[in-house]
Amino acid sequence: MLKIHSKVMTEWGEGTLISVETPFNGLYVSYDQAKCVVWFGTLNPGKREGVGANWISREMTLKELVELNSDSIRDEKINDILHA
């Protein structure tokens, strides 16, 4: 499960999930439109190919973040089941 302040992998490197905004219309939460902010910091900036500067923080969708971290999410669920 992705949690605030947990380490996550992105296409720009490892960062920390610091916020999730989930728009909803009263009937459901939109998974495809949920926005996550990942913080890389100044010591470990996210790498941008072909550009001189790096990311300190970056916004991406929850769907993208889950796809990039599916292995760690699966491993955590397995650990929860085994230690329950």
pLDDT computed for residue 51 by the predictor? 66
Measure the CA–CA gap between 69 and 53, rounded to whole angstroms: 25
What's CA 73's distance to the chain center, in Å?
A: 11
49: left (phi over 0), alpha (psi -120 to 50) or beta: beta
Q: How many angstroms separate the CA atoms of 27 and 58, rounded? A: 29
Write down the pLDDT at residue 46.
Answer: 74
End-to-end CA gap in the chain: 16
pLDDT profile of the chain (84 residues), mean per 10: 89 90 80 89 74 79 90 81 80
Q: What pLDDT, on a 0 to 100 scale, did the predictor assign at position 36?
A: 94
